[in-house]
Homo-oligomer: A and B are copies of this chain.
Amino acid sequence: MKVVSDGGGPDTQSRIVEVATRLFGQIGFQKTTVADIARELHMSPANVYRFFSAKSEINEAVARRLLAKTEDAIAEIAHQGGEASPRLRASIVAIEQGNAQRFLENRKLHELIETAFTENWPVAREHAQKLNESLAEIISRGSEQGEFHVEDCGLAAILVRSACLRFCHPRLMVECAQDSEPAIDQMIDFCLLALR
């Protein structure tokens, strides 16, 4: 992503992402062109390219903005005090609800996120990394408090998120929606047993 300092650069960049998000939500990210985005902003495509050197960078920026909501929610839970187990549960539930809400609110934006995961975009890897860090923080605190018995909290976070993939993965969540078991609480209970 290019960062330019002239004439309200960051503002223009945010506006491009904002308009792109709206268009992606209306007609889908694959059908939205840089020309469409430029037209909405009353600017030339060349000007959009001053901020994003390719359409794929706009896709990534929109996905990043959408995923940041969940990342921020989990980071907040990680920074709270108190028992680790309920906070670990709340985190997994928040990841699942973030996906579910996006899916229900705007199927086209959800498809962007599904594609980011399926095609392993950098933003999907960064998202996983951020969630892992927050989960590791909670598990680490739980270990200090004697609630968990875990040597490698980073690995434990990866294992918990993998174990809960059916709920945390934007496409699997849709694919497995009709499976009544495991329920998310059953899956989290199972993870807590492994951590204790």
Contact = CB atoms under 8 A, between A and B. Distances in A.
A120 B169 CA distance: 17
Contact of A172 (B159, B172, B178, B187): B172
A194 B162 CA distance: 15
Chain B CB count within 10 A is highest, among A155, A159, A163, A194, for A163
**How many chain copies does the complex carry?**
2
Contact of A187 (B117, B163, B182): B163
A130 to B, nearest CB: 15
B172 A155 contact: no
B158 A181 contact: yes
A94 interface: no
Interface residues of A toward B: which range? 20 to 34
A186 B187 CA distance: 17
Contacts of A195: 193
A64 to B, nearest CB: 19
Given A155-B181, A163-B163, A165-B165, 19 more contacts: A117-B175, A118-B175, A120-B175, A120-B178, A155-B186, A158-B182, A159-B186, A159-B187, A162-B163, A162-B165, A162-B166, A162-B182, A162-B187, A163-B191, A169-B172, A190-B191, A190-B194, A191-B194, A194-B194
19 contacts: A117-B175, A118-B175, A120-B175, A120-B178, A155-B182, A158-B182, A159-B186, A162-B165, A162-B182, A163-B187, A163-B190, A165-B165, A165-B166, A165-B172, A169-B172, A190-B191, A190-B194, A193-B193, A193-B195
Q: Which 10 A-B pairs have the closest CB atoms?
A: A163-B163, A194-B194, A193-B194, A159-B190, A190-B194, A158-B181, A162-B182, A162-B166, A159-B182, A165-B165
